[in-house]
Amino acid sequence: MRTRPLTLTLLQQVLGGPRRPPWRPLLKLGHPKVAPAGRMSTQSIHYLKPVALRLPPGIPESPSRQRRHTLPASEFRCLTPEDAASVFEIEREAFISVSGTCPLYLDEIRHFLTLCPELSLGWFQEGRLIAFIIGSLWDEGRLTQESLTLHRPGGRTAHLHVLAVHRTFRQQGKGSVLLWRYLHHLGGHPAVRRAALMCEDVLVPFYERFGFYPVGRCAVTVGSLTFTELQCSLRGHSCLRRNSNC
């Protein structure tokens, strides 16, 4: 019996016709009729790992990228007795250097922050106190000497004892921002109908911008200093607090 040589044609007949290459290109580049020269080895495929792109030394980052890292964290919150030392440090520098006295001393600050912390507001940047307001409740129509040290829980008037800004942040409008936020904060307390404060005459125009109006000379005096008493209705601020469209 003669055996036929195992030719390529015979091998194709035995195996069932011509076989296609066991791989297909994922992408066809250039002319579709061009075929690869040989079989691609999977060992030659290198997968790229994601690498963070960095600028060469000496080339600054774009301002938008820098801003994400340099914007200070800003927070408004009620003060606590633990904040008393930081409060007094700012207040002492702001008032004693000018008038020789403080609206509140350290023990009085702790007193009000223990009894009525909800009537205070501090502005913090990166955890550092930069401005604050401390208040308490009063239950009479006008401020008196007793209103400087007492908190009357049933009162309808929020007495603003002190507003102060750290020296490195003054002349930047931060006192205005803080006072506006504080009045809106008071507007969230339904029992509080108005705010009251006393200040020197030179500061009256500043507070009038926020709805305060003079009600006459204040009965409180500190040494030779006299003050004007101002009051502000919180009805409008309460409306803004509840509904930004008011």
pLDDT digits 0-9 by tens, 15-39: 555 555 544 444 444 444 545 544 5
Report if residue 166 sits inside a domain. yes
| Confidence at residue 7, expressed as pLDDT on a 0 to 100 scale | 55
Known active-site residue 207: yes
What domain count does the chain have? 1
Known active-site residue 189: no
| Confidence at residue 71, expressed as pLDDT on a 0 to 100 scale | 46
| Confidence at residue 29, expressed as pLDDT on a 0 to 100 scale | 44
Strand runs labelled E in 3-147: 74-77, 120-125, 128-138
Report if residue 240 sits inside a domain. no
Known active-site residue 27: no
Biggest alpha carbon–alpha carbon distance for the chain: 137
Known active-site residue 163: yes
Out of 136, 178, 185, 237, the active site residue is: 136
- Asked if 123 and 169 touch (Cβ cutoff 8 Å), the reply is no
- Asked if 170 and 123 touch (Cβ cutoff 8 Å), the reply is no
Out of 111, 161, 166, 237, the active site residue is: 161
Residues 170-213: tens digit of each pLDDT: 999 999 999 999 999 999 999 999 999 999 999 999 999 999 99
| Confidence at residue 8, expressed as pLDDT on a 0 to 100 scale | 52
pTM above 0.75, yes or no: no
Report if residue 26 sits inside a domain. no
Query: Where is average pLDDT lowest: 61-65, 130-134, 146-150?
Result: 61-65
Tell me 188's DSSP state.
T
Asked if residue 113 has pLDDT above 60, the reply is yes
* CATH number of residue 167's parent domain: 3.40.630.30
Asked if residue 117 has pLDDT above 60, the reply is yes
Report if residue 235 sits inside a domain. no
Report if residue 130 sits inside a domain. yes
Report if residue 214 sits inside a domain. no
Out of 143, 163, 179, 183, the active site residue is: 163
Report if residue 39 sits inside a domain. no
| Confidence at residue 24, expressed as pLDDT on a 0 to 100 scale | 47
Query: b vs e for 75-88, b when ≥16 Cβ sit within 10 Å of the residue's Cβ?
Result: eeeebeeebbebbb
The C-alpha atoms of residue 165 and residue 178 are separated, in whole angstroms, by: 9
Domain around 105: 71-197
Report if residue 102 sits inside a domain. yes
Known active-site residue 136: yes
Give 241's pLDDT tier (boundaries 50, 70, 90): very low
- Asked if 126 and 73 touch (Cβ cutoff 8 Å), the reply is yes
